[in-house]
Amino acid sequence: MSNPVPQTLAGRTVLLGVSGSIAAYKACELVRECVKRGAEVHVLMTANAAAFVTPLTFQTLSRNPVTQGLYDQIEEWKPGHIALSDRGDVLCIAPATANVIAKLACGLADDALTSAALAYGGPLVIAPAMNSGMYAHPATQGNLAVLRQRGAVIVEPEQGELACGTTGAGRLAPVPAILAAIEQAVAAHPRTA
């Protein structure tokens, strides 16, 4: 008999942003682990993320519709990405590309994910994944510093072989590390209502 999974996210809403990185496939496991822990998971995908993993995969794993467009899932009068940002207990972006990180740091909101992130007022967890040169670039490091200063939790990428054939920092952190950051963020921000 297997041990039951602790319900550390029971009754909480996890917003999971997925951007266009080969590491997007690891977000599937992250969705499963959050659901196992009792979370209601809503996935917001960039168009580039859908080139790596289909929205149907995330819909099946999360048991919720996937938001891709700015005006998906219009709830009465409120666009879906805004309605989700109002309901989320934590927003985790995993994988977060250099492009999405730059948009977050500058307040750019040109798709459902970045618009929801700009509207969201709760805890933000960011797990970068990209080429090691892109990760080490002063612009990316500066953007991450801005986001840290604003209170975002950055789950540092691992060193290792990358999809582009190079070796260095830039591999998405292991799912357990990202999950732990989500659980800590939710625990630190109890529901008020």
User: Three-state SS string across 64-113, please?
Assistant: CCCECCCCCCCECCECHHHHHHHHCCEEEEEEECHHHHHHHHHCCCCCHH
Whether 177 maps to a domain, the answer reads yes
Please tell me the predicted confidence (pLDDT) of residue 166.
78
More confidently predicted of 143 and 168: 143
pLDDT band at residue 153 under the 50/70/90 scheme: very high
Domain tally, the chain: 1
What is the reported pLDDT for 164? 76
> Which tens digits make up the pLDDT trace of 23-78?
999 999 999 999 999 999 999 999 999 999 999 999 999 999 999 987 665 555 45
| 181 pLDDT more than 90 | yes
Residue 2 in domain: no
Q: What is the pLDDT of residue 78?
A: 57
Residue in 28, 34, 106, 164 annotated catalytic: 164
Asked whether residue 113 is domain-assigned, the answer is: yes
pTM listed for this prediction: 0.92
Whether 3 is covered by a domain: the verdict is no
- Quickly list DSSP for 32-73: HHHHHTT-EEEEEE-TTGGGTS-HHHHHHHHTSPPB-STTSS
- The pLDDT, as a whole number, for residue 73 is 58
> Has residue 8 been placed in a domain?
no
**In contact, 105 and 143? CB cutoff 8 Å:** yes
**Domain for residue 4, yes or no?**
no
Residue 55: domain span: 13-187
Q: Which CATH number do you get for residue 78? A: 3.40.50.1950
pLDDT of 193 above 80:
no
Q: Quick check: is 129 in a domain?
A: yes
Give the H or E element holding residue 154: strand 153-154
Instruction: Clarify whether 28 is annotated catalytic.
Output: no
Q: What is the pLDDT of residue 92?
A: 98
Please give the average per-residue pLDDT across 13-31, as a whole number.
97
Res 169: pLDDT: 85
Domain contains 5 = no
Provide the pLDDT for residue 74: 54
Helix (H, G, I), strand (E, B) or coil at 174: coil
More confident residue, 122 or 72: 122
Q: Please check the confidence at residue 20 and state whether its pLDDT lies above 70.
A: yes
